[in-house]
Amino acid sequence: MARNYRHQLFDDAVKIEQERHGSRASYAKMDAGADGTPDALTAKEIAFIEDRDSFYMASVNREGWPYMQHRGGPAAFLKHIAGNRIGFADFRGNKQYISTANLKGNDRVSLFLMDYPNRERLKLLGHARSVELADDPAAVTALMPEGYRATPERAFFIDVIGWEWNCSQHITPRFTEAEISAAIKPMASELNQLRAEIAALRAQKEDR
């Protein structure tokens, strides 16, 4: 059971708010025994992580401002490495380097992973570090998706300490172009067959 995610985030201020709004007792039962031990990634979380083609990652700068960044690529570009470690290649982008700089002062990150078609979401907490391509080319290139046309600059390695699944309420289903194409493929095939049959009937009528 995942407890450390809530253990890290439910500080005294949060618990006061939960008590005020009547949810503290139920959470206290769910989190009984939490001692800071990382929530182990199971096969379910690993499969979900490696199915994603995008996610959001938040870090914090030295002034305390949170920064949220979208990361995208082909499915499985966010990879499970071993144990509770995951990682991804950081592709060349707009050269702002905000996340990279933030991690030098505070290695804590929060990841938000969405599966819109199935209305599922997974939240992760972890400690992250970046490795520059020049410092360890083998480690960085090992995380590059095969055949993907992007230039890696570095890799991010994240040691997950906590995870939590959220309910599906208020998640609007959304579908990628590839998912829509797969869904309508049988209908498109049937439509083409009907068109061919209509054309054949018209040709027969014209020959009479």
52 vs 194, higher pLDDT: 52
- Mean pLDDT, residues 57-74: 96
Two tokens at 139? 């480690």
Residues 118 and 180 in one domain: no
Q: For position 22, what pLDDT does the model report?
A: 96
Band the pLDDT of 53: cuts 50, 70, 90. Answer: very high
Residues 30 and 49 in one domain: no
State pLDDT tens for residues 160-188: 999 999 888 889 989 888 888 888 888 88
Band the pLDDT of 94: cuts 50, 70, 90. Answer: confident
Band the pLDDT of 1: cuts 50, 70, 90. Answer: low
- Supply the mean pLDDT for the chain: 93
- Mean pLDDT, residues 59-75: 95
Residues 98 and 28 in one domain: no
**Distance between CA 158 and CA 81 in Å, rounded?**
10
User: Which domain CATH number covers 57?
Assistant: 2.30.110.10
* pTM for the predicted model, two decimal places: 0.86
Q: For position 92, what pLDDT does the model report?
A: 87
Residues 54 and 101 in one domain: yes
CA separation, residue 180 to residues 63, 174, 175, 183, 187 (Å): 43, 10, 6, 5, 11
Residues 186 and 204 in one domain: yes
Contact (CB, 8 A) for 27 and 10: yes
**Distance between CA 125 and CA 7 in Å, rounded?**
11
Residues 185 and 100 in one domain: no
- Mean pLDDT, residues 125-136: 97
Residues 167 and 189 in one domain: no
What is the residue range of 105's domain?
38-173
Q: For position 10, what pLDDT does the model report?
A: 94
User: Does residue 84 surpass a pLDDT of 70?
Assistant: yes
Tokens 């599906």 sit on residue: 168
Residues 8 and 25 in one domain: yes
Residues 61 and 31 in one domain: no
Cβ within 8 Å of residue 87, ≥6 positions away: 78, 79, 81, 143, 155, 156, 157, 158
Residues 44 and 63 in one domain: yes
Residues 55 and 126 in one domain: yes
- Mean pLDDT, residues 34-52: 95
Counted domains in the chain: 3
- Mean pLDDT, residues 88-112: 94
Residue % of the chain over a pLDDT of 90: 73
Residues 55 and 157 in one domain: yes
Band the pLDDT of 80: cuts 50, 70, 90. Answer: very high
**Distance between CA 202 and CA 17 in Å, rounded?**
73
